[in-house]
Amino acid sequence: MLKNERGFSFYEAIISLNILIIFCVIIVPSITLLLQKKEQAIKMKNAEDILTDSVHSYYLNREEFNTNAIVRNGVFFSINVNQKIHAEREICVSWYERSKEREICEDISE
């Protein structure tokens, strides 16, 4: 193979092409999956931040929950307050991710 000084031999070209195909089949989908997981983690962190801010303002300042939609990084988060049994309430932050509604909730006692 080293005797041919004019470029790649046929076998070297086939091996290089196979390495490129393996890279595209294995590495590229893995990178795409990692980027999707990163996006999901960022949305979850933003929702947790909104939930934490709402609960803290309720307990520290006795402010009622703002049920308006909040936009962070281009994602709409909505805050919902649900009444539960025995004067307990539940605050939930929901958002849409890939056409599915996601939600995290926290119980609030009076």
21 part of a folded domain = yes
1 part of a folded domain = no
Domain count, the chain: 1
3 part of a folded domain = no
- pLDDT for the residue numbered 3: 60
Question: CA 85, CA 79: separation in Å to the nearest integer?
Answer: 20
65 touches 55 (CB < 8 A)? no
19 part of a folded domain = yes
For residue 43, what are the domain limits?
A: 10-109
Q: What is the pTM of this model?
A: 0.71
Least confident of 9-18, 20-29, 63-72, 92-101: 63-72
54 part of a folded domain = yes
The whole-number average pLDDT for the span 18-34 is 92
Query: What tens digit of pLDDT does each residue of 10-25 get?
Result: 888 899 999 999 989 9
Query: What's the length of the chain?
Result: 110
Question: CA 29, CA 74: separation in Å to the nearest integer?
Answer: 25
DSSP code at position 4: -
